[in-house]
Chains A and B, each alone.
Chain A
Amino acid sequence: MRMRKLLGEPMLHFVLIGIALFAAYQWRAPVDSDGRRIVITQGVLNDLVKQHVAAKGREPSPSELNHLVELYVRDEILYREGVKLGIDRDDLVVKRRVRQKIELIAEEEASTQAPTDADLSAYLAANQGRFVQPAILTFEQVFLGQSTSNPGVVRAVAVTHQALRNGRDPATLGTPTLLPSRMTHAAADLIARDFGDAFAAALETMPIGEWTGPIDSSFGAHYVRVSDRTPAVVPPLAPVREQVAREWENERRQRARTDSYARMRADYEVSIEATMPKEQR
Chain B
Amino acid sequence: MPITRLIVIGAVLLCAACGRPQSPQGTPAAEPSAAVQLGGAPSGAGSASADAGEIRPVDPATFNKVPGYSPYAGRNYPERPYFGDEHVHTSWSVDAGGTGTSLGPEEATRFARGEEVTATSGQPVKLGQPLDWIAITDHSDMMGMITEIKGGNPEMMADPTFKRWRDMFNGGPVEAKKAVMELVAAQSNKKLPAIATDPRFARSVWAKNTTIAEKYNEPGRFTAFIGYEWTSNAGGGDNLHRNIIYRDNKDKADGVLPYTTFQSENPEDLYKWMTEWEKTTGGKLLAIAHNGNLSNGRMFAMTTFSGDPMTKAWAEARQRWEPLFEAVQMKGQSESHPSLSPTDDFAAWELWDRGNLTQTPKTPGMIQHEYVREALKNGLKVEQDLGANPFKFGMAGGTDTHNGLVAAEEDNFFAKFPSSEPRADRWEEDAMNFGPNRIVKGWEMTAAGYTAVWATGNTRAELWDAMMRRETYATSGPRMTVRFFGGYDFTQADATRSPAVAGYAKGVPMGGDLPAAPAGKAPTFLVAALKDRFSGNLDRIQIIKGWLGKDGKPQEKLYDVVWGDKDRRRIVNGKLTPVGTTVDVATATWTNTIGDPELVAVWRDPDFDPSVRAVYYARVLEIPTPRWTAYDAAYFKIKITDPKVPMTTQERAFTSPIWYSPK
* Chain A complexes with chain B: yes
- Which residues does A use to contact B, with CB under 8 Å? 10, 13-15, 17-18, 21-22, 25-26, 47, 50-52, 54-55, 72, 75, 92-93, 96-98, 100-101, 104-105, 108-109, 111-112, 114, 169, 171, 176-182, 184, 187, 190, 193-196, 217-220, 242-243, 245-246, 250, 253
B262, B481, B497: the one within 8 Å of A171 (CB)? B497
A14 to B198, alpha carbons, bound, how many Å? Answer: 25
A97 near B71 with CB under 8 A, answer no
Q: List 26 A-B contacts (CB under 8 A).
A: A13-B18, A18-B9, A21-B6, A25-B9, A26-B2, A51-B193, A52-B194, A54-B198, A55-B197, A93-B167, A100-B150, A100-B152, A105-B8, A108-B15, A169-B71, A171-B497, A176-B499, A177-B498, A177-B530, A178-B481, A180-B80, A184-B72, A219-B598, A242-B22, A246-B216, A250-B110
A108 near B171 with CB under 8 A, answer no
A18 near B7 with CB under 8 A, answer yes
Known: A100-B151, A171-B497. A54 touches B197 (CB 8 A): yes
A219 to B535, alpha carbons, bound, how many Å? Answer: 11
Residues of B within 8 A of A193 (CB): 129-130
Residues of A within 8 A of B197 (CB): 54-55
Min CB–CB distance A28 → chain B (angstroms): 10
Q: Given known contacts A50-B198, A51-B194, A177-B498, what 14 new A-B pairs fall within 8 Å (CB)?
A: A17-B10, A17-B13, A21-B9, A22-B2, A97-B170, A101-B152, A108-B15, A176-B498, A177-B530, A178-B481, A196-B533, A219-B531, A219-B533, A243-B218
A93 to B528, alpha carbons, bound, how many Å? Answer: 57
Residues of A within 8 A of B79 (CB): 180
- Which residues does B use to contact A, with CB under 8 Å? 2, 5-15, 17-18, 20, 22, 25, 71-72, 79-80, 106, 110, 129-130, 147, 150-152, 155, 158, 166-167, 170-171, 193-195, 197-198, 215-216, 218, 221, 262, 481, 483, 495-499, 528-531, 533-534, 597-598, 600
B158 near A72 with CB under 8 A, answer yes
B11, B216, B262: the one within 8 Å of A108 (CB)? B11
- From A184, which residue of chain B is reached at the shortest CB distance? B72
A218 near B194 with CB under 8 A, answer no
User: Which 7 pairs, one residue from A and one from B, show the smallest C-beta to C-beta distance?
Assistant: A218-B533, A51-B194, A55-B194, A97-B152, A18-B10, A178-B530, A54-B197
Residues of B within 8 A of A169 (CB): 71
Min CB–CB distance B51 → chain A (angstroms): 33
B152 near A219 with CB under 8 A, answer no
A75 near B158 with CB under 8 A, answer yes
- From B25, which residue of chain A is reached at the shortest CB distance? A242
Residues of B within 8 A of A14 (CB): 10-11, 14
A54 to B147, alpha carbons, bound, how many Å? Answer: 21
Determine chain A's interface SS by DSSP, over half rule. Answer: helix
- From A72, which residue of chain B is reached at the shortest CB distance? B158
Residues of B within 8 A of A177 (CB): 498, 530, 598
Min CB–CB distance A214 → chain B (angstroms): 17
A218 to B498, alpha carbons, bound, how many Å? Answer: 18
Min CB–CB distance A208 → chain B (angstroms): 18
B166 near A181 with CB under 8 A, answer no
- From A15, which residue of chain B is reached at the shortest CB distance? B10
- From A182, which residue of chain B is reached at the shortest CB distance? B72
Residues of B within 8 A of A112 (CB): 11, 14-15
Residues of A within 8 A of B262 (CB): 54
Residues of A within 8 A of B2 (CB): 22, 25-26
Min CB–CB distance B494 → chain A (angstroms): 10
A97 near B10 with CB under 8 A, answer no
A100 to B152, alpha carbons, bound, how many Å? Answer: 9
A171 to B72, alpha carbons, bound, how many Å? Answer: 11
B80 near A194 with CB under 8 A, answer yes
A108 near B12 with CB under 8 A, answer yes
Residues of B within 8 A of A93 (CB): 166-167, 170-171
Known: A51-B194, A51-B195, A246-B215. A97 touches B150 (CB 8 A): yes
Residues of B within 8 A of A13 (CB): 14, 17-18
A100 to B157, alpha carbons, bound, how many Å? Answer: 15
A21 near B533 with CB under 8 A, answer no
- From B71, which residue of chain A is reached at the shortest CB distance? A171
B152 near A21 with CB under 8 A, answer no
- From B530, which residue of chain A is reached at the shortest CB distance? A178
A232 to B531, alpha carbons, bound, how many Å? Answer: 29
A201 to B79, alpha carbons, bound, how many Å? Answer: 22
Min CB–CB distance B335 → chain A (angstroms): 22
Known: A54-B197, A105-B8, A219-B533. A176 touches B170 (CB 8 A): no
A242 to B20, alpha carbons, bound, how many Å? Answer: 11
A98 to B152, alpha carbons, bound, how many Å? Answer: 8
B6 near A178 with CB under 8 A, answer no
A178 near B598 with CB under 8 A, answer yes
A194 to B12, alpha carbons, bound, how many Å? Answer: 43
A98 to B154, alpha carbons, bound, how many Å? Answer: 11
- From A47, which residue of chain B is reached at the shortest CB distance? B155
A10 near B13 with CB under 8 A, answer no
- From B534, which residue of chain A is reached at the shortest CB distance? A218
Min CB–CB distance B3 → chain A (angstroms): 8
A92 near B170 with CB under 8 A, answer yes
Residues of A within 8 A of B5 (CB): 25
Min CB–CB distance A239 → chain B (angstroms): 13
Min CB–CB distance A273 → chain B (angstroms): 27
A114 near B14 with CB under 8 A, answer no
A246 to B195, alpha carbons, bound, how many Å? Answer: 34
